[in-house]
Structure 1
């Protein structure tokens, strides 16, 4: 039986996202990121293509590692300006019925108590089609603007993340029992107070004593996404994540990553097949190989060298502006995205990167490969990646938007569907149900489940007093 792959669209509430310089392309509409019509139109396109969802990245800071300033980031619109991702979702949800929405929000820059309400609210408004991409942030500029002298050390950020999600699980899963809300008009009882509980959390990083302010949303805990690929990040993902995003420049790196994350999930007592891994990829597809290649070469002519290295410097914490274009990329200990440094410097022993090659590689779609060709050619490549690496799907970045996504829906999706390698329709239910085919809530094997009996714990404690 042919294995089906899955797609997410990778976008950001900004100009250009991860294709620096392509904002200048005459067909690119990323400059319309400020208009709801861009987002609603894109959402409808993706739903026609049976995409799992749109994954909206975010940063709270500016890329200022390259040459020690934000000059080139600002000049090239390299994720500045950037607007809030969450506010896009209600508009896209209104014009779609099935598309999921993965929202990036950092545990480093927002307290878990108000964040829990924000996510419950959006889960209600979308009827359960929301996920949260957990990030710990990596830009010192973001930390400074929130009163921190510098970013917390990489591994320490995950210690904060462990407690952050514990607070959220208590609020989402345990504060309101099943059946607490009855809306009984005759008895004049909206909710049973004895079934609504303060969580009483007192920890190393957070003190959250009170009630969750929202009644349980369709999924209670929204779908958990995570993009960390360092050793510490993988440990966190194996325990908590349902969907994991990775940016692997080669099949060698990706295969090792997928095997490792599934092994870790199994060791944590979870079903490793119920943890989906999506790898970053950009697809340039057209009616023929020749047309796709011509389109790719056209796109490449707009890539900006400095803009590409703005991103690479920000992601790795290495100022590539201090090196000559012919210098080789080597591992340097930084406090940014550790996995990015490891992947480029040592992940594939057969590949040595010069700074110039790195800039060219990252010029379209960021840290993921670019696949160019007709629908049949691209489908062959993607099926090969799935077969060789055991990856579940692809997080598709764009070169030119919405053209890149429209081309995938028009050309690639029908080819994959014809091969039985891609779904033809959505299944009913919440985002979690569409993805995994089970119920709307996190399974009993997930660590969130241990907080569902807060009511019993409180009653037991009261009885003992």
Structure 2
């Protein structure tokens, strides 16, 4: 195929029965009914570490699928994004069980203060040896979250992104500007632990946050965690272009994904950043077996588990739209107009609404949307075949879209990933798409996203301007 541009590989997970808003945990190939067992995650992370994956990514949210404030039957019986544990609490254990695997966790910008994020991620970066990443989100299932946190109404979409921008800025002001390099002396002869002159107050007065004080966490290997972001709406792209080092692009068609990749790189360049320094990835659910026929049979077993009710529970939780209450013969826009006031549509899950509203010819009907999402949910590209066929398809997708890699979203975890590691990764290495030896060091160094010293934010990243001036000798 084309020149062998290296591919990045992450794994998308959540501490819940399955990922992607689909149904898989009852299948014998799946072990995710053990999602509350520490040993399950330790074994999972060790397998990914040994195989050479770049990172394990945990989605997270306080929200979950509801309909008109209630838990749908399909949410509960199917385990559709419910229940879910807090993945941040398992990261230290996973770091101790692995040697090089990056660990990325989702943390919302709308539920606490940036000093809390700076303290948590600074601590995690120390405990992981610089292998931590932060997936910056404005939240999901916003109507559910508003109720849980006692809010009268969910925050408007545009306001959430303005708040997120300020939240990230203030977090980086603390992580990058709170301490100078060399502030930790640890000199027992003094005895002097810290150089007081190299620890700085952060004063900030913004629209959404204000602060005055000191960060108590000393500089960690990366200082700032590797910054991930996944929004594909216009405000989401702007946030990604300004702050993100790794962006997850929603995988729809090849053409639309390519357009999104190009658009984010363009916005990053306009923000004064090197657009090629940003890693762009999309989701991919890969079913691979020794033969294409066996892979197709495994995929069919997964598809047979899916129902309209499972699709509807996920989509309603993500967007506020109850598809099963709409006229299935109409395009989404017309069906919503005919249904009248059905709730807070458009303030959450905007990417998952706009992609159907903006489709050519008025967009698909409600029935077609249900069929499109059935077995796919929030997943990305669907790839099924033997090792050669899967490798061909992943190469084609990367080459035609400009993507730098894929976030694998297993149908049956962790079995699918063990199959991928055994069958596909050797083939990708043979083609020069993966290194013979997996990278080591900090996550930023492994992804190649850092400045010349590899572990730190690039100098063209806006967070770099918060660094204290370098003292003369």
Output the TM-score relative to the length of structure 2: 0.92
The alpha carbon displacement at 1:102 in A equals 1.0
Match of 1:241 in 2: 244
Q: Is the 8 A contact 2:302 2:375 kept in 1?
A: no
Q: Is the 8 A contact 1:317 1:336 kept in 2?
A: yes
Q: Distance in 1 between matches of 2:320 and 2:374?
A: 15
Structure 1 residues 83, 359: closer, same or farther in 2, change over 3 A? farther
Correspondent of 1:287 among 273, 285, 290: 290
1:344-355 correspondence runs (5 A): 344-347=356-359, 352-355=364-367
Q: Distance in 1 between matches of 2:373 and 2:123?
A: 39
Correspondent of 2:118 among 104, 116, 119: 116
SS in 1 for 2:35: helix
Correspondent of 2:224 among 221, 224, 239: 221
Match of 2:447 in 1: 435
The alpha carbon displacement at 1:162 in A equals 1.3
Structure 1 residues 437, 205: closer, same or farther in 2, change over 3 A? closer
Correspondent of 1:84 among 76, 83, 86: 86
The alpha carbon displacement at 1:345 in A equals 2.9
Structure 1 residues 322, 378: closer, same or farther in 2, change over 3 A? same
- Please give the per-residue CA displacement for 1:75-117, whole angstroms capped at 9, x wherever unaligned: 2211111000111211211121111111001011122112211
115-124 or 355-364: which moved more? 355-364
Structure 1 residues 424, 2: closer, same or farther in 2, change over 3 A? same
Q: How many residues align?
A: 456
- Please give the per-residue CA displacement for 1:399-421, whole angstroms capped at 9, x wherever unaligned: 11111111111111111111112
**Unpaired runs of at least 5, structure 2:** 337-344
Structure 1 residues 240, 362: closer, same or farther in 2, change over 3 A? farther
Correspondent of 1:299 among 302, 312, 331: 302
- Please give the per-residue CA displacement for 1:407-448, whole angstroms capped at 9, x wherever unaligned: 111111111111112222223321000101642110111111
The alpha carbon displacement at 1:15 in A equals 0.8
Structure 1 residues 199, 437: closer, same or farther in 2, change over 3 A? closer
Match of 2:463 in 1: 448
Q: Is the 8 A contact 1:287 1:374 kept in 2?
A: yes
Correspondent of 1:187 among 180, 190, 204: 190
SS in 2 for 1:25: coil
1:48-197 correspondence runs (5 A): 48-65=50-67, 69-139=71-141, 140-197=143-200
**Unpaired runs of at least 5, structure 1:** 457-465
Q: Is the 8 A contact 2:284 2:409 kept in 1?
A: yes
SS in 2 for 1:372: strand
Match of 1:9 in 2: 11
SS in 1 for 2:310: helix
Q: Distance in 1 between matches of 2:349 and 2:469?
A: 36
Q: Distance in 1 between matches of 2:30 and 2:57?
A: 19
Matching of residue 389 in structure 1 with residue 401 in structure 2: yes
Matching of residue 366 in structure 1 with residue 383 in structure 2: no
Q: Is the 8 A contact 2:311 2:377 kept in 1?
A: no
Q: Which 4+ stretches in 1 moved above 4 angstroms?
A: 66-69, 324-327, 347-351
Output the TM-score relative to the length of structure 1: 0.93
Q: Distance in 1 between matches of 2:328 and 2:32?
A: 29
Q: Distance in 2 between matches of 1:320 and 1:216?
A: 49
- Please give the per-residue CA displacement for 1:102-149, whole angstroms capped at 9, x wherever unaligned: 100101112211221111111101000000000001321112211211
Q: Distance in 1 between matches of 2:122 and 2:392?
A: 40
Q: Is the 8 A contact 1:19 1:303 kept in 2?
A: no
- Please give the per-residue CA displacement for 1:340-380, whole angstroms capped at 9, x wherever unaligned: 11223325669735435535534246342311111111111
216-225 or 357-366: which moved more? 357-366
Correspondent of 2:256 among 253, 258, 263: 253
Structure 1 residues 346, 298: closer, same or farther in 2, change over 3 A? same
Q: Is the 8 A contact 1:107 1:160 kept in 2?
A: yes
The alpha carbon displacement at 1:193 in A equals 1.1
Q: Distance in 2 between matches of 1:353 and 1:411?
A: 38
1:313-324 correspondence runs (5 A): 313-324=316-327
The alpha carbon displacement at 1:304 in A equals 3.1
Q: Distance in 2 between matches of 1:311 and 1:354?
A: 15
Q: Is the 8 A contact 1:173 1:449 kept in 2?
A: yes
